[in-house]
Amino acid sequence: MSGLRRRSAWPRMVAAVGALTLLSRIGYGHAQLLDPPAPVGQVLEEYRVALENKDLDQLAGLYVTFSDRQRQALREYMENAAGLTVELADVTVAPLGDAVAVTYTRRDHFIDRESGKPQRLEVRLTKILVPDNGGWKITDGL
Amino acid sequence: MLALAVLVRIVTDTEVVQAVPLDQVIPGLFGGTLTTTIQNNVVVPQAVESQRLRFASQFNSLSAELSAAHSQAPVPSASGAFRFSWDPEVDTFVRSTEDLGSGVAERALTLGRHTGTFSVSYTYTNYDTLDGNPLSDLQFSQSAFSPAFISRLSPADQAKFGTDLIHSQLDMSLSFNTVFFSGAYGITDNIDVSMALSVSQATLRAHIVSTIQKANGSQGDSFFLAPNFHLAAKSGTLCGFPDPASTNIHCATDGGSQTAFGTGDLFLRGKWHFYNTQYADFAVIGVLTLPTGNADDLLGFHDPTFTPWLIASKDFGRVSPHVNIGYAFRSGADVSQAEGILGADLRATKWLTLSSDFLGYFDDKRDGINDDVVQSALGFKINPFGNFVIGGTFQFPLNHEGLRADVIYTGQVEYTY
């Protein structure tokens, strides 16, 4: 026996991961606001509520343009999604000229009427919001 | 638990009873050699010679090919039909409009994040032909004596015995009953992992009759060495009943039958759907097989294998063509192969998908055994209710090369959660 204790690599790995995480946050910090400004947050909340209420007209009002194809696809999705709840999380906002780029994670929970099974869908999205009559409207996504 | 106990019992019992590995049943006929002599019923060392039987050597090298051939009944692929994906054009989740998929080919589509499938399939393969010849009537001929032996004989004996042949007629059958258990899970929307393990029962039966004859089929002048009418071989007997007055020492027969039961190789698979275009979506798949199956019993490969695949597919209305191209890297004990599948699915109705495929397997070892295997496959998948899919596939040979089954039958039940 050499009498030397082998030091575990785990504390160093955890410290390295922690440091990298902090550095990545600092790197984003200059370009992104972690809390959305109130008007932008209001649009997102209206968007979320419109989805949960399956109110296509209210939803269409949040977009600059809302095509028939989009309306049809949303109608089919909503009709199939029983008890739909929508969660928007990890929202960040970055200025983009007059517009803003809003990035968020959308989580949908519902019962799939076709299969009868609960579904949990998640997607990370970036949307461009432009000023419109003192508010904001959704124009496009990335 | 009871089923597990029964399974363990069957496996243990099979191993106790089994004396000879399956791949040694045919090479072991007559112990692999027969001794010929030019003097009946008299053992004179100068008059006898041991003949290594040609079919024994041929089947000795067939085991790797058989493993490859058995693996050519592909692991049934997950349908991936029950999923939602984000459609940026309409800015919402949409239910997949994909069909139920092919039973033998992969598509670029992945299952979707946190979507899983579990499937059980049964495949029955009963090999019918070897290079186009029926397995029930395989013929092998070789000289009854070596050129060196003949050269030591007198000119008269050279003329008499030099043209004698050992003609062997082999009647064999080989069949597999294979149950595949496979599961797949979507780690992200574009990455799946899956694993599959089979349990197989392989049965091989062989009966051989070897005769000494001339090229025209008439009885030869030499004999099998059979002191006191007991065939001088590790196994086998003279044909018919021993009769000192008869000439049945021109004919010897042997047979054997073995059944092996056990797990096949473990398949571990990762799939990445990485690129979409207007005309094709692309994915890559890596399949690692671990040799958990007993290769000597033809249940798996001898060593780990790795097969990278490039997958291209696209939906064009009701028709979804697909191309799979891969290369199976295997060790020298097995056979490396280029592999390809070309086909299309047709969404006949919302609950019924028909599929048609061509499958090709091309050995890098050009040894004349199963070098180029081309199959066709016709299949269907039905969604009877909920997230269940029931499927069936029938594979047919398109060429005669190697050890082939007239039809390979596969039935599959899949559940997506």
Report the half-sphere exposure of B140 (CA within 13 A, side-chain side): 19
Edge-first strand order for the sheet with A135-141 is: A81-96, A99-112, A117-132, A135-141
Q: Work out the number of other CB atoms within 10 angstroms of the CB of residue B253.
A: 19
Task: Enumerate the residues of chain B whose CB falls inside 8 A of the CB of residue A119.
Answer: 84
Domains and CATH numbers, chain A: 33-141 (3.10.450.50)
CA distance B379 to chain A (A): 24
Q: Could you give the residue range(s) of every CATH 2.40.128.130 domain in chain B?
A: 88-132+173-205+260-416
pLDDT, residue B153, reads 87
pLDDT, residue B350, reads 78
Q: In this complex, which of B86, B386, B417 lies closest to A123 when CB atoms are compared?
A: B86
pLDDT, residue B247, reads 55
**Does the structure show a pLDDT above 90 at A40?**
no
Best B89, B95, B111, B187 member to test A by mutation, with max A CBs in 10 Å, is B95
Whether A76 has its CB under 8 Å from any CB of chain B: the answer is: yes
User: How high is the mean pLDDT of chain B?
Assistant: 83
Identify the band that residue A108 occupies on the pLDDT scale cut at 50, 70 and 90: very high
Contact B363, B382 (CB under 8 A): no
Best B89, B91, B97 member to test A by mutation, with max A CBs in 10 Å, is B91
pLDDT, residue A122, reads 83
Whether B388 has its CB under 8 Å from any CB of chain A: the answer is: no
B347 against A15, higher pLDDT: B347
Please answer yes or no on whether B84 and A117 come within 8 Å at the CB atom.
no
Among the residue ranges A6-10, A50-54, A84-88, B97-101, the one predicted with the least confidence is A6-10
Identify the band that residue A61 occupies on the pLDDT scale cut at 50, 70 and 90: very high
**Does the structure show a pLDDT above 80 at A25?**
no
Residues B61-119 pLDDT 10s: 666 666 666 665 555 555 556 677 788 888 898 876 567 777 788 888 888 777 888 99
Q: In this complex, which of B91, B94, B387 lies closest to A141 when CB atoms are compared?
A: B91
Instruction: Please report which helix (H) or strand (E) contains residue A50, including its range.
Output: helix A38-52
Task: Enumerate the residues of chain A whose CB falls inside 8 A of the CB of residue B82.
Answer: 115
Candidates 2.60.40.10, 3.30.1390.20, 2.40.128.130, 3.50.50.60; correct CATH number of B88-132+173-205+260-416? 2.40.128.130
CA distance A45 to chain B (A): 17
Please answer yes or no on whether A115 and B84 come within 8 Å at the CB atom.
no
pLDDT, residue B417, reads 77
Contact B251, B260 (CB under 8 A): no
- Determine the residue type at B192: D
Please answer yes or no on whether A77 and B94 come within 8 Å at the CB atom.
yes
Best B93, B111, B350, B416 member to test A by mutation, with max A CBs in 10 Å, is B93
Collapse the DSSP code of A86 into the 3-class scheme (helix H, G, I; strand E, B; otherwise coil) and give the result.
strand
pLDDT, residue B270, reads 93
**Does the structure show a pLDDT above 60 at A107?**
yes
Percentage above 70 pLDDT, chain B? 86
Provide the CA B176 distance to its chain's centre, in angstroms: 8
Please answer yes or no on whether A76 and B91 come within 8 Å at the CB atom.
no
pLDDT, residue B9, reads 43
Find the mean pLDDT for residues B39-51: 77
pLDDT, residue A3, reads 37
CA distance A73 to A68: 9
CA nearest A138: which of A98, A100, A93, A95?
A100
Give contacts of A 4-63 with B, CB under 8 A: none
Helix and strand tally (H, E) in chain B?
5, 20
Contact B260, B14 (CB under 8 A): yes
CB neighbour list of residue B85: distance below 8 Å, 6 or more residues apart: B93, B94, B96, B112, B189
Percentage above 90 pLDDT, chain A? 45
CA angle B25-B303-B289, nearest 5°?
A: 110
User: Mind giving me the DSSP string for B320-373?
Assistant: EEEEEEEEEB--TTS--EEEEEEEEEEEEETTEEEEEEEEEEEESS-SSSS-EE
Best A44, A48, A66, A77 member to test B by mutation, with max B CBs in 10 Å, is A77
Residues B339-374 pLDDT 10s: 999 999 998 887 899 999 999 999 888 877 778 889
Among the residue ranges A34-38, A46-50, A91-95, B102-106, the one predicted with the least confidence is A34-38
Length of chain A in residues, anyone? Answer: 142
Please answer yes or no on whether A115 and B82 come within 8 Å at the CB atom.
yes
Nearest CA in chain B to A108: B93
CA distance B317 to chain A (A): 17
Identify the band that residue B54 occupies on the pLDDT scale cut at 50, 70 and 90: confident
Residues B245-296 pLDDT 10s: 655 688 999 998 989 899 988 999 999 989 888 789 999 999 999 988 888 8
pLDDT, residue B317, reads 77
Residues B134-151 pLDDT 10s: 999 998 899 999 999 889
Question: What letters, b where the CB count within 10 A reaches 16 and e where it falls short, cover A25-55?
Answer: eeeeeeeeeeebeeebbebbebbbebbbeee
Give the pairing type, strands B388-397 and B403-416: antiparallel
CA nearest B109: which of B282, B359, B267, B278?
B282
Task: Enumerate the residues of chain B whose CB falls inside 8 A of the CB of residue A80.
Answer: 95
Chain A and chain B share a number of CB contacts under 8 A equal to 43
Residues B216-258 pLDDT 10s: 888 888 888 888 778 888 888 888 765 656 556 889 999 989 8
**Does the structure show a pLDDT above 60 at A13?**
no
Please answer yes or no on whether B91 and A70 come within 8 Å at the CB atom.
yes
Per the listing, tokens 């032996």 go with B149
pLDDT, residue B59, reads 75
**Does the structure show a pLDDT above 80 at B27?**
yes
Kindly report the backbone phi and psi dihedral angles of residue B60, in degrees, each rounded to the nearest multiple of 5, phi listed first: -65, -40
ipTM of the complex: 0.75
Give contacts of B 62-91 with A, CB under 8 A: 82, 84, 86-91
Whether B6 has its CB under 8 Å from any CB of chain A: the answer is: no
